[in-house]
Structure 1
Amino acid sequence: MKNILFSILLLFVATESFSQQDALYSQYMFNQFTINPAYAGSRGTFSSVLLYRNQWTGLDGAPSTLNFSMHTPFSSKKMALGMNFIVDHIGPTKNSSFMGTYAYHLKTSKGKLSLALRGGIYSSTVNNNLLNFFDGNDVHNSGGVSQSIAPNFDFGVYYYSSKFYSGLSVNHLYNSDLIYQNTTQTHFALNRHIFFNTGGVFVLNSNLVLKPSVMIRYVNGSPISYDLNSAVLLNEKIWIGL
């Protein structure tokens, strides 16, 4: 029954499977480096994040994501370096990337403007042995593992001050082609993912700080998505938010 439910679900999401290729995240405001390389070094100190997310627990082939990132400023905080490693599983597919980041920070009258480039490799693997075919003689039933590796580049701009931040990034800048081996499927491209996010800090009193934020995401072939969030910081120790 679990396999049947998962197969039905895949029928609904298959039309977007090649257009929306990156893992989805909640609470992105705590790990903006994942969506925008220009965030590197903006905290003014070494920063690292380890995230694991497991969805639809109990279903075979349910999505899971592992994300590890770190970044640090140097050269009097004018520049920053970073790296991130992502592994995303769904069904028979595993997508992973390993990326390095360089960012340069410019001072402005009220804050700083960061420009960054991120580059590395993107790997997509399909375990054909996990696929179930109605017809065992289907030409796509090749068995084995199909893999494609391609270069990947992201670019980002990020403005930040003590009270406000705003960023724009373009991920999969190059639209690299993924060409699988051991399969009759030809190839598909990594679609550009465009992110815009902004947020602010409002001090309500000495013990209460409001931090609203919004993220807009666009991927070619998929509808624009919006994330609206608001968090309250109590006594600089406790977070409460939506």
Structure 2
Amino acid sequence: MMRNFLKNIGCIVIIVTGIGNQLQAQTDVKLSNFVYTPLVLNPAYAGSSDGYSATALYTSQWVGFDGAPETLIVTGHDRIGLTNLGAGFDVMSDKIGASKENRVVGNIAYHLRLSQNWLLSTGVKLGVNNYAIDYSLLSIENQGEFGNPFGDLSRTSLIFGTGFFLHRENFFLGVAIPNFLTTEYIDDFRNTLANTTPNYFISTGYRFELEREVYFQPTVMTRVAKGAPYSALFSFNLDWKDRIFASANYEHNVTAGAFVGLRITDQIMAGYAYDTAITTFSQYNGGIHSFMINFRAKERYRRDRCGCFTY
């Protein structure tokens, strides 16, 4: 039975990957160190670590440019009592130039034990997204095209997404669509400000134990979306006795970066990541800087619940 189940999972991955070759755009935030904030992409992750965990991540991109993107993400999740349910939230604030995007999302997941070693969870995301633009921060040559553009314009839309997460002690596979809904943001004069389309994410990884309590985990995340090229982000992660963390990531012809983290106390881990564009654009900006802090509940934390590094 387990063999047939895994065969079906493989077919799903192939189908979703194949669809990705025909889809082209990106609307969801791409995280180079996605292993540290999995709940942002996949609601099925909620409750996987069997203990409360909360993470905050701040990212500053294109350093040196006026109005450069800044992103703040806060996530948290836990099991609901002794049930098979997990619940969590992710909050994001994204700013670039005159535009701001804020979202608040709730996540709920159901965890099913398939065998002694394998677990499967499915999850749902539900939330709201607000997109706003401040015309007073723009240099508009012909202001008549926008009527009276001074002030803020704000649009709110719903978020609905889903995903599943298959894992055992040293392996995981996830497929997720953070938002099924397609939304077009327009102003009062029918100008299209932005639009969103579904993004499809497939992530997988395998954890090797190099020596006692020293783990190495290669992972890969593929992303496909209408209007954007197919992409694959590779990440190589090291956990030294749950005290020192390091990783390197690479996306072909896009970015390369590294992360280093330190567990300050049993409950708190903090880290810093730097990514750089591997194109000619890299010479015109200061790269991407990310700062992360994670809190976990010591008394309920169970590392062996999930084949990924649990955050």
Question: Per the shorter chain, which TM-score range?
Answer: 0.7 to 0.9
Instruction: Please report how far the alpha carbon of residue 136 of structure 1 lies from its aligned counterpart in structure 2 after TM superposition.
Output: 4.0
The C-alpha deviation readout for 1:91-128, integer Å capped at 9, x for no partner, is 11111111111110000112211111110111100111
What residue is the counterpart of 2:168 in the other structure? Answer: 161
Does 2:216 match 1:210?
yes
Does 2:133 match 1:126?
yes
Give the number of aligned pairs: 224
Percent identity between matched residues is 27
What residue is the counterpart of 1:95 in the other structure? Answer: 101
The C-alpha deviation readout for 1:44-101, integer Å capped at 9, x for no partner, is 1011111111122332110000101111102425101111110101111111111111
Contact 1:133 1:141 in 2 (8 A): no
* 2:182 partner amino acid: N
Change (3 A) 1:240 1:124: same
What residue is the counterpart of 1:57 in the other structure? Answer: 63
Change (3 A) 1:69 1:143: same
What residue is the counterpart of 1:9 in the other structure? Answer: none
Q: Structure with the greater relative contact order (CA < 8 A, sep ≥ 6): 1 or 2?
A: 2
- The correspondence of residues 26-105 of structure 1 with structure 2, limited to 5 A, is 26-105=32-111
SS in 1 for 2:197: coil
Q: Distance in 2 between matches of 1:124 and 1:183?
A: 16
Q: Distance in 2 between matches of 1:43 and 1:108?
A: 17
Q: Distance in 2 between matches of 1:156 and 1:142?
A: 40
Contact 1:230 1:241 in 2 (8 A): yes
- Stretches of structure 1 that go unaligned for 5 or more consecutive residues are 1-17
Q: Distance in 1 between matches of 2:33 and 2:220?
A: 11
Query: Which stretch of structure 1 is more off in the superposition, 132-141 or 121-130?
Result: 132-141
Change (3 A) 1:59 1:188: closer
Q: Distance in 1 between matches of 2:37 and 2:171?
A: 16
- Give the TM-score normalised by the residue count of structure 2: 0.67
What residue is the counterpart of 2:12 in the other structure? Answer: none
Contact 1:41 1:77 in 2 (8 A): no
SS in 1 for 2:63: coil
Contact 1:32 1:39 in 2 (8 A): yes
- Stretches of structure 2 that go unaligned for 5 or more consecutive residues are 1-23, 249-311
- Give the TM-score normalised by the residue count of structure 1: 0.86
Instruction: Please report how far the alpha carbon of residue 25 of structure 1 lies from its aligned counterpart in structure 2 after TM superposition.
Output: 1.5
Q: Distance in 1 between matches of 2:194 and 2:68?
A: 23
* 2:191 partner amino acid: Q
Please, which of 235, 240, 245 is the counterpart of residue 234 of structure 1?
240
Question: What RMSD over aligned residues (CA atoms) do the two structures have, in Å?
Answer: 2.0
* 2:179 partner amino acid: H
Q: Distance in 1 between matches of 2:80 and 2:132?
A: 36
Query: Which stretch of structure 1 is more off in the superposition, 151-160 or 72-81?
Result: 72-81
Please, which of 200, 206, 210 is the counterpart of residue 194 of structure 1?
200
Contact 1:154 1:171 in 2 (8 A): yes
What residue is the counterpart of 2:17 in the other structure? Answer: none
The C-alpha deviation readout for 1:165-193, integer Å capped at 9, x for no partner, is 1100012212234343x443157642001
